[in-house]
């Protein structure tokens, strides 16, 4: 190909060093990593995945991960990380240490002075507040309130009205993500976010109605396009269902669609483009499943929609409740994807 291009006068862009198929083994990977280290090259995973792709792929194939390959090469992986790799215990100890020193450990201030702690805490504890609470410090009772001494009832009400005027949804879920400080103080002062909205002269019922803005073929209002598509597919088969029914007796955990003993969870944000939201959404769903397991023991079957064929033998022979997580691609369901999930259950008359 290159010879033909040269004859035609076409100049091809030079690529990196090429290696023949089957060239790499464990010894060659280790030797190449040590060579880069000796040359004082950058061995971070991001740089190597972009600039030394053949080596990076070979390392993962031989050692299961880039970290393992670095360790096997006799190099301390923590020394090549751009940021320190924190453990849960280290995060808690660091928060305690800062608190004892008198540092302001509010979320807003910590993002300014110790962003690494905040990001690691959100990864392990879902929210920074949870990490502070795990350190034995009352975040909402002490830290958040101290940080927001200027928040009077009037200022809270004014801020809620201001957000509402901008056309931003006042749903508790969105406010917790975008205005976590306001949400924490409002709940502390008014008892709940719903009550704070009510005191601002805004009907919370209108807010929840806005959440269910998509209407299905049978008139049911749902909160997202994938839920509407899933509902319409059930209606096409004339399958009866219940929407957002409680699945837990202890906490307000609901399941999106209940069909007999089958509970379908439509996971619209599972592949969200924003990494933080995607991680938080997945962690929240995992927490929900963990809670159900702790409450119901092993008395239900849990799987994803694309795993339905694998779990079908267990589903057929069991009478236990089934929880199925269905993941849309690009926030849309294609009919063939829904058919793959529902048709096997319909054919076996497990759902009618």
Model confidence over 110-135: pLDDT tens digits? 887 888 888 888 888 888 888 998 89
d(C-alpha 63, C-alpha 53), whole Å: 15
pTM of full prediction above 0.85: no
Q: Give kind and range of the element (H or E) at residue 116.
A: helix 115-125
pLDDT > 80? residue 318: yes
Helix (H/G/I), strand (E/B), else coil: 29: helix
55 sits in the region (left: phi over 0; alpha: psi -120 to 50; else beta) called alpha
- The residues that bridge with 303 in the sheet, in sequence order, are 324
Indicate whether 242 pLDDT > 50: yes
Reduce the DSSP state of residue 41 to 3 states and report it.
coil
User: Cα(193)–Cα(137) distance, rounded to whole angstroms?
Assistant: 23
DSSP string, 186-197: HHHHHSSHHHHH
Residue corresponding to tokens 């979320």: 107
- Number of residues in the chain: 352
Q: Is 214 helix (H, G, I), strand (E, B) or coil?
A: strand
Q: Name all contacts of 152-161 with Cβ < 8 Å and 24+ positions apart.
A: 153/189, 153/190, 153/199, 156/182, 156/185, 156/186, 156/189, 156/190, 156/196, 157/196, 157/199, 157/200, 160/186, 160/196, 160/197, 160/200, 160/202, 161/200, 161/201, 161/202
Q: Given pLDDT bands bounded at 50, 70 and 90, which one contains residue 297?
A: low
What residues contact 333, with CB distance under 8 A and at least 6 apart?
226, 229, 230, 233, 326
* Number of alpha helices (DSSP H) and beta strands (DSSP E) in the chain: 20, 7
Confirm if 344 and 308 have CB atoms less than 8 A apart: yes
Report in angstroms the alpha-carbon separations of 106 from 6, 152, 198, 248, 349: 63, 18, 27, 33, 54
Convert the pLDDT of each residue in 280-290 to its tens digit: 888 888 888 88
What is the DSSP secondary structure assignment for residue 65, as one 8-state letter? S
With cut-offs at 50, 70 and 90, classify the pLDDT of residue 148: low
Tokens found for residue 177? 């993500």
CB under 8 Å to 48, separation ≥6 — which residues?
42, 55, 56, 66
Q: Which H/E stretch holds residue 5?
A: helix 2-8
170-222 per-position pLDDT tens digit? 877 677 767 777 887 888 888 888 888 888 888 877 776 666 778 888 888 88
């Amino acid at each position: 190909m290159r010879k033909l291009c040269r004859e035609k006068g076409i100049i091809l862009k030079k690529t990196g060093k090429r290696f023949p198929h089957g060239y790499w083994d464990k010894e060659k990977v280790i030797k190449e990593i040590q060579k880069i280290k000796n040359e004082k090259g950058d061995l971070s995973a991001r740089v190597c995945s972009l600039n030394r792709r053949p080596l990076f792929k070979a390392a993962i194939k031989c050692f299961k991960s880039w970290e393992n390959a670095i360790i096997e090469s006799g190099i301390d992986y923590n020394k090549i990380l751009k940021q320190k790799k924190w453990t849960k215990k280290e995060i808690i100890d660091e928060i305690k240490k800062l608190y004892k020193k008198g540092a302001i450990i509010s979320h807003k201030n910590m993002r300014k002075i110790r962003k690494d702690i905040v990001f690691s805490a959100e990864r392990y504890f879902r929210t920074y507040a949870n990490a502070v609470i795990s350190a034995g410090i009352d975040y909402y009772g002490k830290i958040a309130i101290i940080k927001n001494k200027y928040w009077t009832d009037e200022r809270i009400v004014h801020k809620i009205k201001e957000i509402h005027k901008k056309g931003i949804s006042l749903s508790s879920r969105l406010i917790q993500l975008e205005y976590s400080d306001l949400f924490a103080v409002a709940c502390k002062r008014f008892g709940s976010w719903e009550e704070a909205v009510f005191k601002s002269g805004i009907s919370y019922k209108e807010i929840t109605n806005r959440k269910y803005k998509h209407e299905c073929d049978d008139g049911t209002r749902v909160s997202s396009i994938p839920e509407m598509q899933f509902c319409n597919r059930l209606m096409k088969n004339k399958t009866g269902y219940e929407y957002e029914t409680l699945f837990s007796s202890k906490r307000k955990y609901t399941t999106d669609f209940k069909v007999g003993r089958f509970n379908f969870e439509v996971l619209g944000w599972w592949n969200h483009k924003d990494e933080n939201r995607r991680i938080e959404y997945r962690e929240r769903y995992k927490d929900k499943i963990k809670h159900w397991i702790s409450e119901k023991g092993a008395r239900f079957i849990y799987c994803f929609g694309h795993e339905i064929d694998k779990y079908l033998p267990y589903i057929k022979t069991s009478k236990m409740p089934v929880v199925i997580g269905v993941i849309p691609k690009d926030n849309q369901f294609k009919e063939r994807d829904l058919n793959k999930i529902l048709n096997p259950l319909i054919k076996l008359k497990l759902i009618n």
